[in-house]
Amino acid sequence: MKIIFTSKANSYKTMKEAYKHIGLDEKLIDPNCDLGKMKLHYLGLDSESNEVYVSNYYKNKHIFSNIISGLGSVFKEEIIILDID
């Protein structure tokens, strides 16, 4: 399973939640970090060996969610999108 943490454009907040989920030290995050627009970044595996990604959807959240979950079903992969906004 893949877990994707996302927000509109708040890269730091997204990273913070993902770091918490994985169990990493939040102090390691650069407060000025920028995830870019609609780019997926792999962060690591959580305690249940789920792949964790972070991304900013920037605009049109429903299109972002539809593409991520739609392609997930095309490739028969379970996807969880966690919108932290």
Partner 1 sequence: MKIIYCCYGGAHTSIVASSIHMGYLPTDKIPTSEEILSVPYYDQSANNSVGTPLFMGVDEYTNEVYVMGMGHHRDYYAVMTYEYAHILASDKGTSIRIINALSCINNYIRIGGFLSRRANLISIGRPLTVFGIQRNYKYFVELVSNLKKAIKVD
Binding site for partner 1 (CB under 8 A): 2, 37-40, 42, 55, 58-60, 62-68, 70-72, 74-75, 77
Task: Tell me the closest approach of the beta carbon of residue 25 to partner 1, in angstroms.
Answer: 26
Residues 35 and 16: their CA atoms lie apart, in Å, by: 12
- Region of 44 (left: φ > 0; alpha: ψ -120 to 50; beta: rest) is left
DSSP H stretches of helix in 1-85: 11-22, 61-74
Task: Tell me the closest approach of the beta carbon of residue 10 to partner 1, in angstroms.
Answer: 18
Q: Looking at beta carbons only, is 33 or 63 nearer to partner 1? A: 63
Task: Tell me the closest approach of the beta carbon of residue 42 to partner 1, in angstroms.
Answer: 8
Residues 40 and 8: their CA atoms lie apart, in Å, by: 13
Q: Looking at beta carbons only, is 20 or 59 nearer to partner 1? A: 59
